[in-house]
Structure 1
Amino acid sequence: MNAGAAVIEHTGDYLNAVAHGREESRHDARSHFVDDEYSADLFNGYAVAAAELKAQFDERGIVVDRDHPLFVYLPCGVGGAPGGITFSLKDLFGADVHCFFAEPVAAPSMLVQLASGLTESIPISDLGLDGRTEADGLAVGRASMLVAPLMRSRVTGIHTVTDEQLLVLLRHAFDTAELEIEPSAAAGMAGPLILTRSPTGRRYLTEQGLAEKLATSCHVVWTTGGGLVPPAERQKHLARARALRADFTFDDA
């Protein structure tokens, strides 16, 4: 069905496209611009997903408490979606939920912002990063300054993944579960591996008294994105992934 929408592409990165859209909307009295960088409405809308997840847990009898911790791994671009979901999950489950963001190595905008400890926006270009990645949904040059301050006390950790790892994870998702996802959606799938294999992840589990609770824990990988990927593009991703080998030891993480 043709809904009459027009898709406008811009050269440059994601933030440049958003800036163009914001400016065009400003000159159109009939326009309502949903600003992905600083929209409370969008943030609150994403937060609803956490309540929907809890409802699914209730239906399936999945308990989240001190002895049954919940680990959630969320792909992060500008931060609206993972931030809203994390904000609500922490409200629902408190200290019993541990939320981790996943970003591309070339575009770790939220990691850069939070690690800086600064209150002004820090672009990844300041670190010499170009943001070029197969995970186009996460290729963002700077984090949302609405979301970043809220995540300082809520997000448990942030990990990065290479394009090679993204594609191999995408292939595994398809081969083992017939999940048709895009590279961006595969980012969180590295989370459980990093948590249990890397020195940093294992140290966190030990320090928080979680290592002995892994057998009774629940792990959720947020894999939204991919349903509208053209079949030819999906096959191209899979073909590339089948020719790749990626390191998942995470000994240096």
Structure 2
Amino acid sequence: MNEAFDLEQLLIDPVVSALAKAEETAWFAAKPVNTAVGIEDSGINPAITEDARARFRRFAPWFAERFADTRPTHGILESPLVGIPDLQAELGDRYGKALPGKLWLKRDDLLPVSGSIKARGGIHEVLQVAERIVIDAGLMSATDDARVLDRPEVREMLSGHGIAVGSTGNLGLSIGIVASELGFNATVHMSMDARAWKKDLLRSRGVTVVEHAGNFSDAVAAGRRTAEEDPSVWFVDDESSLSLFAGYSAAGARLAGQLASLEVTVDERHPLFVYLPCGVGGGPGGVTFGLKQAFGDAVHCIFVEPVSSPCMSLGVRTSLHDAISVADIGLDGLTAADGLAVGRPSRLVGEHLQQLIDGYVTVTDERMKACVGLLHDVEGIDVEPSAAAGFPGPWQVLANKTYLTAFGLDDAALANATHIVWSTGGSMVPADEMAGYVAEGQGLAGKVSWR
């Protein structure tokens, strides 16, 4: 991450210049890349996705016994997909442009155990680490029911191991909750952006929370040092972990099943657009990888970031990836979207997956908050600000005629389009804090400029 660059030269690019001014931006790939080519060029083996799905199935009986909110799905961790036609109409009126096709919300804010998208990746890595330790000790085989992990001798062994992670909040919640339930000594290094209630919840479960005055990267670095100093500690690296990535990627096949059950067609003439809030990039990157396996060229993935922390957009646009930080272009990285408050992107995602990502959008905190208020008012759904980042995305797609033409997305295809905003968290937010988000958003909805 010490690669030199000429900032003045970078700022000649109008997109980079706009990012540096904390302006809302949208830019898209110049032309499509065949999915098979993109996956091959990524260097990531698609087999990791099915491996993750199989692991989640093996652990389903364990989850059903240990977490009551997983019992209705017999231990499978999944979220609903719901139509939001009233918000589609409301936003169409505000933007002055009706959105053709249908708008849906993927409610990872309702994922069991930890109430966020991080339940996919973070939990998967904890499960994989637990399996590896116990299998290596000869106390479990790769095909065993995961409930063997509840045996006293297994729990005693796991208690001699630690798991550490650096987090702005939701990843730490997911990892801390499940790691502590398995008997690990869990430590979560949290940045200044993390909410107090998340720290309190982790501590109530016996997780060690280490608070840092710095940002996400500082918390990650501290967690990494902990693991380096103690060989019994496994560090979950949100910046480069393939295990996290694999857990997120399992969402692709799950979404394909949900859309099929709703008789939603996805193909070249019925395109699927998915709008993914992006922090360091592991979550949206993994989901994109899974979606591309499930839908191929018919799916179009758009990453959405706060204007103050557009690390992935900046890294990909400049081709510097994790060699450049938002601080290098004068941004403070401060945002109400705490899960997206990341200064430096994942090279794993930005460099290896960029051919599979269609575009990058940035939005202001005020617009995210306004969308929280509108979602509450017209659909009766409450999410945290970061989970609302994707709502402006469809209108940014409609406005970019160059992108639509390059990808062969004509009016007929758009009329058949399915747009999915991925809601990444919110169900565990305390009621008083959520009420504050909603009230602030309601107040901003009439003040934000929509056109």
With normalisation by structure 1, the TM-score equals 0.92
The answer for unaligned runs of 5 or more in structure 2 is 1-200
Residue 167 and residue 119 in structure 1: after superposition, are their counterparts in 2 closer, same or farther (change >3 A)?
Answer: closer
Number of equivalenced pairs: 246
Aligned residue for 1:238?
438
**Greater Rg over alpha carbons, structure:** 2
Whole-angstrom distance in 2 between the partners of 1:174 and 1:94: 34
Deviations 1:24-65 (A, max 9, x none): 122233322111011010011110111111111122222211
- 1:113 positional shift: 0.4
Whole-angstrom distance in 2 between the partners of 1:179 and 1:202: 32
Whole-angstrom distance in 1 between the partners of 2:431 and 2:442: 16
Does the aligned pair in 1 maintain the 2:312–2:345 contact within 8 Å? Answer: yes
Which one is further off, 69-78 or 172-181?
A: 172-181
Does the aligned pair in 1 maintain the 2:252–2:293 contact within 8 Å? Answer: no
Aligned residue for 2:346?
144
Does the aligned pair in 2 maintain the 1:193–1:248 contact within 8 Å? Answer: no
Query: Partner of 2:355: helix, strand, or coil?
Result: coil
Query: Partner of 2:261: helix, strand, or coil?
Result: helix
Aligned residue for 2:357?
155
Whole-angstrom distance in 2 between the partners of 1:8 and 1:233: 23
Residue 166 and residue 60 in structure 1: after superposition, are their counterparts in 2 closer, same or farther (change >3 A)?
Answer: same
Q: How does 1:161-240 map to 2 (within 5 A)?
A: 161-196=363-398, 198=399, 201-212=400-411, 213-240=413-440
Whole-angstrom distance in 1 between the partners of 2:429 and 2:210: 18
Q: Is residue 75 of structure 1 aligned with residue 277 of structure 2?
A: yes
- 1:151 positional shift: 2.4
Counterpart of 2:217 in structure 1: which amino acid?
L
Counterpart of 2:307 in structure 1: which amino acid?
V
Which one is further off, 69-78 or 184-193?
A: 184-193
Whole-angstrom distance in 2 between the partners of 1:9 and 1:53: 36
- 1:233 positional shift: 1.1
- 1:119 positional shift: 5.8
Aligned residue for 1:66?
268
Q: How does 1:6-21 map to 2 (within 5 A)?
A: 6-21=208-223
Residue 120 and residue 229 in structure 1: after superposition, are their counterparts in 2 closer, same or farther (change >3 A)?
Answer: closer
Aligned residue for 1:37?
239
Does the aligned pair in 2 maintain the 1:135–1:183 contact within 8 Å? Answer: yes
Does the aligned pair in 2 maintain the 1:77–1:140 contact within 8 Å? Answer: yes
Query: Partner of 1:146: helix, strand, or coil?
Result: helix
Deviations 1:50-98 (A, max 9, x none): 1111111122222211111100000000000000111121222221111
Aligned residue for 1:134?
336
Counterpart of 1:203 in structure 2: which amino acid?
T
- 1:206 positional shift: 3.2
Counterpart of 2:272 in structure 1: which amino acid?
L
Query: Partner of 2:375: helix, strand, or coil?
Result: helix
Q: Is residue 111 of structure 1 aligned with residue 313 of structure 2?
A: yes
Identity over aligned residues, as a percent? 45
Counterpart of 2:409 in structure 1: which amino acid?
L
Query: Partner of 2:317: helix, strand, or coil?
Result: helix
Whole-angstrom distance in 2 between the partners of 1:230 and 1:7: 19
- 1:180 positional shift: 1.6
Counterpart of 1:243 in structure 2: which amino acid?
G
- 1:146 positional shift: 1.2
Whole-angstrom distance in 1 between the partners of 2:322 and 2:369: 34
With normalisation by structure 2, the TM-score equals 0.53
Query: Partner of 2:303: helix, strand, or coil?
Result: strand
Does the aligned pair in 2 maintain the 1:135–1:184 contact within 8 Å? Answer: yes
Counterpart of 1:41 in structure 2: which amino acid?
S
Whole-angstrom distance in 2 between the partners of 1:222 and 1:8: 30
Whole-angstrom distance in 2 between the partners of 1:232 and 1:7: 23
- 1:108 positional shift: 0.2
Does the aligned pair in 2 maintain the 1:74–1:222 contact within 8 Å? Answer: yes
When the two chains are superposed, the root-mean-square deviation of aligned CA atoms in Å is 1.6
Counterpart of 2:243 in structure 1: which amino acid?
D
